[in-house]
Structure 1
């Protein structure tokens, strides 16, 4: 029997509001809490929190002095369509793409890496 369920993934950042708006648009969610310090996005499956951190430093992936700490794998129906929409919303495609035919790596506006994949059932 499970002791807990995953309810919220928190993402540190310099500016919570635009980051929450990005994730709400990408995941089809709604920003249900919005302050200068913390925002919360609610979706059908998870909540994503964006939290202001003083002197925030984005992760450096795949190499660098600041580890990624966390990344999200997002299931999509069509990898090409999902990529176009993620880029339109403000994601940045990573130069390093270990398996671009199956998993594509991007960075959200605060620099957190995430992957889009059609290999996980949508």
Structure 2
């Protein structure tokens, strides 16, 4: 029987790790990792899950929904009120693509580095 695996980290490529960490910190309320710097910044959830942001030279933002530059992954966040969460995230620097597959159930937004993420009525 294989050993169980526990997800411990998710890391996003970007050109400015500190700026992207600041966006997600404001969006989620997660605590910054003590050893964040200009090349790698991270946020930590109470259960230890880390969301990391690593500097990649020449990073190209995903072009969702067009796949010229694939999204590679996306994060989903449960929210109570879609409209309220969307407005708050847009104020923080997120963008809203025109293409919204099921806007009444979830919204696709992009973070300041261009990564798509979803807010889902939780």
Would you say same fold, with TM above 0.5? yes
CA distance in 1, matches of 2:112, 2:31: 18
Query: Unpaired segments of 5 or more residues in structure 1?
Result: none
Residue aligning to 1:71: 74
Post-superposition, which runs of at least 4 consecutive aligned residues in structure 1 deviate over 3 A? none
The correspondence of residues 75-114 of structure 1 with structure 2, limited to 5 A, is 75-114=78-117
Q: TM-score, normalised by structure 2?
A: 0.91
Q: CA RMSD in A?
A: 1.4
Partner of 2:24, secondary structure, is: helix
The correspondence of residues 11-22 of structure 1 with structure 2, limited to 5 A, is 11-22=12-23
CA distance in 1, matches of 2:28, 2:58: 27
Does residue 37 of structure 1 match 2:47? no
CA distance in 2, matches of 1:71, 1:112: 7
Query: Unpaired segments of 5 or more residues in structure 2?
Result: none
Deviations 1:73-117 (A, max 9, x none): 110011111111111111001110010000100000000000001
Residue aligning to 2:59: 56
